Amino acid sequence: MNRAAKVAFVALATVIILTSLSAFLFFWSMGEVRGLAAVQSCIANLKELDGATAAWALEHGKTNRDDIPTDSDLFGMTLYLRDKPRCPHGGHYSLGSCSARPRCSIPSHSLEFGDVYVRDEHSNVVSEAAVRVKGGGRDYTMRTDARGFANIECRGIDRGLKPGTTVTVGKHGFLDSQLSTAKGWPLNVILRRARAPESPSAQH
Ligand SMILES: [Zn+2]
């Protein structure tokens, strides 16, 4: 090859590499966007199911908080929703009650995604507990509010709590409790009090 051919070859190779790199990045981000759109569409379905269930309970005077409607109670031309919505990722919906939200079988498709409730062994709320999220490139700590509640998703809109993420909840005077995010939402955490150290003054 002469010098001009070499220069042309290097330029061509550079263009090919840059083009394929940007194509890769484009399709990769499109995949991410599509994935997020599917999650949001499932969440919208769950909200519809939640609203339909609430309307059904009100109209039929359901006072038992555990009453769950059936498909034939909610879906039909003259009922609350014309058709039962479908999860874009093929998850299955289970209907909720007055006390529980409807669910998709895919754990990240949840109206309660990222919700963590912390109580002690006597069911008292535990506020100011540290909720540490670790795994999948994330490591941050949130604190529970006065209701013993924290949402650990608020660091991103990508529902980026990957499988294998662990959540460790702790507070001074309590034993740490570690949970996996794989089991679905919300996470209900029970913190047990650490046994008080034996102190001589307690012996009378
Ligand atoms: Zn779903």
Q: Residue ranges of the domains in the chain?
A: 3-104, 115-191
| pLDDT at 20 (0 to 100) | 75
| pLDDT at 47 (0 to 100) | 95
Model pTM score = 0.69
| pLDDT at 71 (0 to 100) | 96
pLDDT at 172 over 90: yes
| 37 confidence band (pLDDT: 50, 70, 90) | confident
Rounded to the nearest angstrom, the distance between the alpha carbon of 41 and the centre of ligand 1 is 8
Neighbouring residues of 137: CB distance < 8 A, sequence distance ≥ 6: 162
Q: Which of 145, 135, 151, 144 is nearest to 169 (CA)?
A: 144
Task: Name the average pLDDT for the chain.
Answer: 85
Rounded to the nearest angstrom, the distance between the alpha carbon of 179 and the centre of ligand 1 is 23
Q: How many Cα atoms within 13 Å fall on the side-chain side of residue 72?
A: 0
DSSP 3-state of 32: helix
Rounded to the nearest angstrom, the distance between the alpha carbon of 92 and the centre of ligand 1 is 7
| 154 confidence band (pLDDT: 50, 70, 90) | low
Rounded to the nearest angstrom, the distance between the alpha carbon of 2 and the centre of ligand 1 is 60
| pLDDT at 171 (0 to 100) | 97
Q: What is the CA radius of gyration of the chain?
A: 25
| pLDDT at 51 (0 to 100) | 95
pLDDT per position as a tens digit, 76-104: 999 999 999 999 999 999 999 888 899 99
CA angle 124, 128, 130 (to 5 degrees): 110
Token pair 């034939």 is found at 72
pLDDT at 157 over 60: no
Choosing among 3.10.20.740, 2.60.40.1120, 3.30.70.330, 3.40.50.620, the CATH entry for 115-191 is: 2.60.40.1120
Q: What is the DSSP letter of 111?
A: T
Rounded to the nearest angstrom, the distance between the alpha carbon of 113 and the centre of ligand 1 is 12
Q: Which of 32-36, 165-169, 172-176, 198-202 has the lowest mean pLDDT?
A: 198-202
Q: Say how far apart CA 134 and CA 162 lie, in whole Å.
A: 10
DSSP 132-144: EEEETTEEEEEE-
Rounded to the nearest angstrom, the distance between the alpha carbon of 78 and the centre of ligand 1 is 25
Rounded to the nearest angstrom, the distance between the alpha carbon of 43 and the centre of ligand 1 is 7
Rounded to the nearest angstrom, the distance between the alpha carbon of 70 and the centre of ligand 1 is 19
Rounded to the nearest angstrom, the distance between the alpha carbon of 66 and the centre of ligand 1 is 23
